[in-house]
Amino acid sequence: MSTILDAPVAPAPAPEPARTYLVKTLGCQMNVHDSEHMAGMLEQAGYVPASPQDAAAEAADVIVINTCAVRENAADKLYGNLGRLAGTKRTRPGMQIAVGGCLAQKDRAGIVERAPWVDVVFGTHNLDVLPVLLERARHNERAEVEIAESLQVFPSTLPTRRESVYAGWVSISVGCNNTCTFCIVPHLRGKERDRRPGEILAEISALVDQGAIEVTLLGQNVNSYGVEFGDRAAFAKLLRAAGAIEGLERLRFTSPHPAAFTDDVIEAMAETPTVMPQLHMPLQSGSDRVLRAMRRSYRAEKFLGILDRVRAQLPDAAITTDIIVGFPGETEEDFAETMRVVEASRFASAFTFQYSPRPGTPAADLPDQLPKAVVQERYERLHALQQQISLEENQAQVGRAVEVLVAESEGRKDGETARLTGRAADNRLVHFAVPQGADAPRPGDLVRVQVTHAAPHHLVADGAAPVVRRTRAGDAWEKRQAADGHEHGASGDACGTGGPAGVVSLGLPGTRR
């Protein structure tokens, strides 16, 4: 007679496969870094990145869209993405869509009203709630919207899935204390909050220990760093301290504000070898009258004086900028002043934008909004001038030897031209050839090449074979490729972003065409 001990034991149910995720980024470098935190939190909660193939097909269990509210077509981009995903979701049971970032902070529940298939909406101040909201939405079978009015958790304390192992972002502050009339960022990101220097230096050291050789310090106005704890010299001190971290080879920062840009920062840049000869200095307008209407607390001559002092100590610095064309009330004389300042500044490149009203900003209610045709015509003149200057500045690089940090994928035609791509010390984009049969450098390695010709937005080095310096950053990239299951020598992902499949960047600021 059989006993209960003899009864067959039912096999344990197979565990459910881990849910996959994809984070899509619209907007600035701050958004890109926030997306890295979102990916890190999802992985900590048990999600896994979608494969490159599934990422390209938007076939993930959870898709997060990290939005921008600054660019002219930010809402169009979001709802275009959501409209496309609605069809995908109908054919994929259990799929969830989450919307975060600046537009989520601004529009709140209006996103669900306009796109009822969205499951989660969260803001810029509470990134940490994403996994909880996703689970709550699954359980309750309804959309969850949670927008905090002030910063709940400093983003840099959150788990992070870095896009790159050889270069990384480090936030030194969040928020902004300026009141520029065209900008909605202070309303969406809040007042400036500064991290303590020790925390920042510890994060940089940790990145370096993991293989990074380049770090970019991030803030809405990086050079106002220290305002919260009352040290006006804090940013210059931070540059020197970060630049001295052993193993760090390249240090960058973005973006400073001309009004608070002081000579001690220029001296720190010049005297710290690891700080790269690159500066992004937003002009916005060359007209003092327009700058006053924008509440930009500097004037054109002060701006040009900063550039003169930077170039006196860093002669090879590549300086870039932001410019808005067609601000309300801008006259032809005002625009001529912008053209004059641009010509005098000799920017390596410029992110140029046609003004468009942002609801919630003071400028949206100003009189004398310009006709679209006028703004377009001025924009085209400015674009043509800057294109010519960019070309001339890049042509001056021909014949020079430059050191390039090899990137995973920054050149859209690299496959067709058998070139690799990277950034020079001054952040210029360089496409370089590797002779047939030569060992190709890995992303994260440094190569020395000679520039053979130039275009407005890139340099080309097709001459002698590059001199390759293999780095521990390249070792770290190779190690992660192996861990992620890629074959040795593969690079990038299906979307061409160069990051892991779980994080996709859509539309970093660029020169508007």
pLDDT, residue 150, reads 80
Query: How far apart are alpha carbons 130 and 494 in whole angstroms?
Result: 25
- From the number of C-beta atoms within 10 Å of its C-beta (0-12, 13-18, 19+), residue 22 rates as buried
Binding residues for [4Fe-4S] cluster: 28, 68, 102, 176, 180, 183
Strands 349-354 and 318-325 turn out to be parallel
pLDDT at 10 over 70: no
pLDDT, residue 78, reads 93
pLDDT at 174 over 70: yes
What residue spans of 148-299 are helical by DSSP H?
185-189, 197-209, 234-243, 263-271, 288-294
Tokens linked to 111: 């996103």
pLDDT, residue 495, reads 28
Averaged pLDDT for residues 13-22: 83
242 contacts 268 by C-beta, under 8 angstroms: no
β-strand partners of 121? 99, 145
Query: How far apart are alpha carbons 370 and 360 in whole angstroms?
Result: 19
Query: How far apart are alpha carbons 227 and 205 in whole angstroms?
Result: 24
Per residue in 289-314, pLDDT (tens digit) is 999 999 999 999 999 999 999 999 99
440 contacts 489 by C-beta, under 8 angstroms: yes
Q: Which of 57, 44, 46 is nearest to 85 (CA)?
A: 57
Tokens linked to 444: 């994260």
pLDDT at 500 over 50: no
405 contacts 442 by C-beta, under 8 angstroms: no
How remote is the C-alpha of 189 from its chain's centroid? Answer: 16
Per residue in 264-298, pLDDT (tens digit) is 999 999 999 999 999 999 999 999 999 999 999 99
pLDDT, residue 485, reads 66
- Under DSSP, the state recorded for 284 is B
pLDDT, residue 513, reads 30
Per residue in 24-37, pLDDT (tens digit) is 998 888 888 889 99
pLDDT, residue 506, reads 38
Per residue in 465-490, pLDDT (tens digit) is 899 999 999 999 999 888 876 543 33
pLDDT at 498 over 70: no
Residue with tokens 């061409």: 496
For the chain, the first-to-last Cα distance in angstroms comes to: 85
70: pLDDT confidence band, cut at 50, 70 and 90? confident
pLDDT, residue 412, reads 63
pLDDT at 186 over 90: no
Per residue in 321-374, pLDDT (tens digit) is 999 999 999 999 999 999 999 999 999 999 999 998 888 889 999 999 999 999
Averaged pLDDT for residues 58-68: 94
pLDDT at 129 over 80: yes
SS3 79: helix
Q: Report all structural domains of the chain as residue ranges with CATH numbers, in order of start.
A: 20-146 (3.40.50.12160), 155-396 (3.80.30.20), 400-484 (2.40.50)
Q: Which of 465, 486, 493, 502 is nearest to 409 (CA)?
A: 493
pLDDT, residue 17, reads 84
Residues with Cβ within 8 Å of 293's Cβ and at least 6 positions away in sequence, in order, are 181, 327, 328, 329, 363, 366
Q: Which of 434, 495, 432 is nearest to 25 (CA)?
A: 495
Length of the chain: 513
Per residue in 197-255, pLDDT (tens digit) is 999 999 999 999 999 999 999 998 999 999 989 999 999 999 999 999 999 999 999 99
Query: How far apart are alpha carbons 238 and 252 in whole angstroms?
Result: 12
What is the 3 state secondary structure string of 187-201?
HHHCCCEECCHHHHH
- Asked if the bond preceding 255 is cis, omega within 30° of 0, the reply is yes
pLDDT, residue 251, reads 98
SS3 506: strand
Per residue in 422-439, pLDDT (tens digit) is 999 999 999 999 988 788
Per residue in 437-463, pLDDT (tens digit) is 788 899 999 999 999 999 999 999 998
pLDDT, residue 508, reads 34
The number of beta carbons lying within 10 Å of the beta carbon of residue 237 is: 15
pLDDT, residue 461, reads 97
Per residue in 501-513, pLDDT (tens digit) is 455 443 333 333 3
Averaged pLDDT for residues 405-413: 77
Binding residues: 28, 68, 102, 176, 180, 183
Query: How far apart are alpha carbons 366 and 361 in whole angstroms?
Result: 10
